[in-house]
Each structure stands twice: as C-alpha cells, then as structure tokens.
A and B are shown apart, each in its own frame.
Chain A
Amino acid sequence: MPLSRQRRFVTPGPEETLEALAARALPEEPLEAALERVRGWNLHIFGMRQPRGLLLGSDVVFVEPPLA
C-alpha cells in the first residue's frame, strides 16, 4: 500500500538556525516571509515552548500549511 500524502516537514540539521532552516525549506520566499510562514505553521515551537522559538534537535518543523 503506498503511503498517502501528508503534510511536509523537515527536521533541523546539526546546529541549524531557524533562518537557515526557513531558507532551506522555502527557498523561493524572501527570508523574512519564509520565517513568518514557518512561524505561523509551527505553534509547537513558537508558542508552546519556553523560550519561544528555541529549535530542538528532535523537532518536526512543518513547511506548508495543513492539507485539505
């Protein structure tokens, strides 16, 4: 059985910053806009964590909004 399409995510590389991750995930976007999008799609990193925005090695970082 093929796997159905699910929401795309990336995991942080070693010592990768959020800027670098956003640029890698959304290369077609200006960095600021890419960061905003990543922020809006990843409340578990930007809202529910102290300190907010702390990127952890185990994180799942979504690079698109939820699918229909």
Chain B
Amino acid sequence: MFDVLIRGGLVVDGSGAPGRVADVAVNEGRIVAVEPHIDGGARRTLEAAGRVVSPGFIDPHTHFDVQLLWDGAAKPALEHGVTAVVPGNCSLSLAPLKAKDRAALVGMFQQIEELPPAAFTEAFEWTWEDFAGYRAAVEPGLQVNVAPLVGHSLIRLWVMGADANRRAATADEISAMQDLLRASLDAGAVGLSTSFIDVDENGRPVPSRFAPFSELDALAAVLGERGERMLQVVPEFYDTDITIARIDQLADLSLRHGIPTTFSPVFDSRLTPDNVPRTMARVEEQFARGARVWPQMQTRPIDISFSLLRPSLFFGRLPRWVRVLRQPLETRLASLRDPSVTDRMLADCGPDGGAAMMSELVVRGGDAAPAALVGMTLGEIARQRDESCARALINLSLEHGLDVAFVAASRGHDDTGRIGPMLAHPLMHIGASDGGAHLASFATYGDTGYLFSEFVRKAGALTLEAAVKKITSDTAQIWGLKDRGRLARGQAADVVVFDPATIGRGEERPEFDMPGDGMRYVRDAIGVDAVVVNGQIVREGGRYTDARPGEFCGVS
C-alpha cells in the first residue's frame, strides 16, 4: 500500500530526458518507484492522464521570511507548483536577530518587501533570537519546503550593533561573525546572502554594504568549511561594468573557498542590449577557470507603474507634467485642478491627446480606483468619458485623490525572442522571482507558469523537459539541495501535476490578505492540478489541504 500513487501521467523527471508515460509511487515522503505500470493499492491516487508529472519547482530567490510565519504555503507560490523556496536573500533574514535590534530590521524589511507594519505586530510573536529559534518558530507550520539563507546584514547587526552600518569590523568582530555564521548554517541555513545595493527605510545603505571584501572573504571561508554552501549577492545590476566586477569578486571567492555563488537579477533591455551578452561572456570565462558564479534571470517582463501621488519619470518627455508632478502634494492638486495648467500639460502631449503614450495604460486596482475600471485601458476609459487619454488620466486621478495606479505593461525584459535563448543558456540560473517582496508594487508569483506559457509553448525556446530541468534539478544541484529536484527512486516526493497545454499565470490582481488587511498584488496559477510536498498532497482541486509536510531542506 502506497501513500500516494500518481497514475498515467507524462513523467518529466527533471533530468532533461524525454518525458515518458509512467506511474509514480510515494511512501513515507519519498518516491519509491517510477514505472510504466505500478501495481498495488494506495491511500490516495491521483489520475494524471494527459498531464505532466514533474518534480516540484524550486524558487531560488524569495523574501518569504516573514510571510512563512503565518502562511506556511508562501501563497500563492505553492499553488503555482513551487515546492521549495529560498528566503533570506539580499542580506536580509529574520535571524539571527537580538530583540533590541528588531525595530532596525523591520525598517529594512518594510523598505525592501513593502510589508505592512501590521505584519510585524499582529501576525506572529517574536520568540527567537538565533537561527535555530527562527527555525523552531517557522518549521511546524510549513506546507512548502524552505532552504533559507542567513543575511549578512543580520550577522553584522548582531555582532556590531549600531556600528553595523557605520564602519568596518575589527578582527575580533569578524571572528565573531564567522562563529555566528557557523551556528546559523548548523541550524539549517543553506548559505549566506549579501547585498551591494539595498538601503533601509531612511535610504541609508544596509549593513552588509559597509563590509570590505576581506570580511566577505572571511565569511566565504566558513561557507567552504561547512561544505560548499551558497553565497548569494545582489550586485549593482543597473551597470554592466560593476556587475562584471562583482562576477570577478565572486569567482575569486568561489575558487578560493570551493563554494557556489549566485547573483541576481540579470535583465535584458532593448536600450542596453549588450548587458546580458557581456555578463554571460564573463560568466563563461569564470566557469572555464573552475569558478561557479551563477547569474539568475527572471522569466517575467518588467512593468512600469505609477500614480500621480508621486512624480514618475514615465512623464520625462513632458516638461509641464514633470514640473507639476514634482510639486508638493497640495500644490500639485491645485495645479491639476487649474484648467489653465492642465491645458498646457495637455499641449505637451501633442495632437493625439497622449493616445500614443498613454492609451495602453491599464488601471491596476488595489487603491482608490473604482472597481469597474480595474483592468481597463486608459484608451477605453477615455472613449467612455469622451476625453483625451491625458485628460482622462488627470481627471480620473483627481476624482480619487490621485490614488489611482496605472501600469504600462512589459516595458522591460520583454523581448521573448532575445530572452528565450538567454534562459536556455546552460549557465543561466532561472530564478530572481523576488517572491514575497515588492508586495504593493507588482506580483512576484507565476514566473514558472510564464516560463511554460511564453518560452515553451509560444516561443519554443526551451523544450518542456529542458524547462522543467531548469527549475528543478538544475536548481537543486546549483544549491546542493539534497534529494530534491528529480523524480527518481529515493528522492523526496515533491511533485507537481500540471496541464502542459494550459499552465501559465493569471492576470495581476490586488489581494487584501496581508496582516491588517494589507494589499499585495498576486497572480493566480493556471493549469496546476495538484502539488505534493514530501509525499503529502498540499494542493488539489484548487484548494489547499491541511497537511503541513514542509521542512527545511538538507544540503548535500
């Protein structure tokens, strides 16, 4: 008698080998057989004919550290087929953290993840200081597996207190940081994260940025000592030359300490077409030397969003708009109500009334925008109102206290013909979703579905098998996650059953499910039938189950 039997699906096992129709049997959290026909009863049988059965997807760049304390599924990641997440990126984790430093960390998290304040006061109780304590607080409620990083900024904060973002560490302090990193790794962290770009809520660089390279080198030595643990870095990704300099630094650390490293994000843009090719050329050179420096690229395009509550460079070619939108709020409101001002603003837009620039803008929702308008284009709204697009944008904003967000979709990293081959590159690590971050700015969920809908089905840039391998066994190997990423006997039974003809991501929509009725943007999963974590069904028929099988991932 098996615990779970998944019958008759196209098994795409994560190795990259062609899919084959087979049954998958699961017992005690492990895959016990993958065979054309498996006899024997099962407590639960999932009929998967016409569906793909694959290893669970692994998301290597998330910020679910806080959300996991009240939502062990990291919703909606799990329903997209993600069975393991890596939180703790960008130098920020929730441990180790002394009680006296909590306020400082909350500020950093609010800046980077856009979590509402209530998330830190209503949704959980701080019961821990060290990493083992955080693990004890979060692991019992997990539905998804977790492979957490420990944040360099946290380690600095613990050892140096308020000096963490003021100065270099002393030799004794670096030694104490090494000990703290050892303890965190021994308690379940899979590696260390650091950041070269992030700032706190006051715009001040986070502590990790005050560390000279020698400090990072000392910490990387611990990663090597504990067995090829990962170093994750956020470089100055807006500048190719700096990114290449960081690649070289990471390569030095990788070679010296025998560790894997990864950096994210890497973006493509029509206006900086050399960025990814130059980056990858350097990555190839460093891999040829034996270094492991894995770039992470997201699958989804980048949107531009804005409201008239704050100035946006979206209007950078319209000088009167720039001048008005940079005014203090009350002055700005007065200007926007003054027809003589708005007439001149409209004159900036040319004879089409802003149609070319603005007609495809979409009302996002989640703010003061009327529900009936959410999802409509400004062009449609302008026609309804019998106004020009620019006039409609101003008037609609004014009618709702300027709290109406618009999105210009797919304005960067959006050329599928270019990005497909980049994602397929053998040294490109697909990730960088930022799941659980940027909550009030855009949805960070559904990148795996988008990989299949856009780059497998539509563009054919990757085969189904190659795409599955990229986000399962490749990820597990890069990160050294033990017994994950493959559908094979003895592996952890993390399984996704999905429809290859429909898997994708839903439209972005606001959801008010954060603590304190906080809003975030999400995308629903499409085409994912069932999700199994460690041998237990956690998602089936569009519903979550009560099972809590998630755990901290071991490293090999």
Residue of A nearest to B196 (CB): A58
Contact B281 A58 (CB under 8 A): no
Q: With A4-B281, A6-B282, A50-B204 in contact, is A56–B244 under 8 Å at CB?
A: no
CB 8 Å contact bits of B263-291 with A (1 = contact, 0 = none): 00000000000000000011001101100
Q: With A1-B288, A6-B248, A15-B168 in contact, is A58–B209 under 8 Å at CB?
A: yes
Q: What is the number of residues of chain A that contact chain B, defined by CB distance less than 8 Å?
A: 20
Which of these, A3, A12, A54, A58, contacts B216 with CB under 8 Å?
Answer: A58
Residue of A nearest to B242 (CB): A60
Contact B244 A6 (CB under 8 A): yes
Contact A11 B213 (CB under 8 A): yes
Chain B residue contacts of A54, Cβ below 8 A: 205
Chain B residue contacts of A62, Cβ below 8 A: 241
Q: What is the number of residues of chain B that contact chain A, defined by CB distance less than 8 Å?
A: 29
- Distance A12 CA – B168 CA, assembled complex (angstroms): 11
- Whether, in the assembled complex, B210 has its beta carbon less than 8 Å from a beta carbon of chain A, the answer is yes
- Distance A57 CA – B164 CA, assembled complex (angstroms): 12
Contact A60 B212 (CB under 8 A): no
A-B contact pairs, 14 of them (CB 8 A): A1-B285, A1-B289, A4-B282, A9-B245, A44-B236, A50-B204, A56-B209, A57-B211, A57-B213, A58-B196, A58-B209, A58-B212, A58-B213, A58-B216
Contact A14 B168 (CB under 8 A): yes
- Whether, in the assembled complex, B546 has its beta carbon less than 8 Å from a beta carbon of chain A, the answer is no
Residue of A nearest to B241 (CB): A7
Q: Which of B196-235 contact A (CB under 8 A)?
A: 196, 199, 203-205, 208-213, 215-216
Chain B residue contacts of A11, Cβ below 8 A: 212-213
Contact B245 A12 (CB under 8 A): no
Which of these, B210, B236, B241, contacts A6 with CB under 8 Å?
Answer: B241
CB 8 Å contact bits of B441-482 with A (1 = contact, 0 = none): 000000000000000000000000000000000000000000
- Whether, in the assembled complex, B239 has its beta carbon less than 8 Å from a beta carbon of chain A, the answer is yes
Contact B212 A7 (CB under 8 A): no
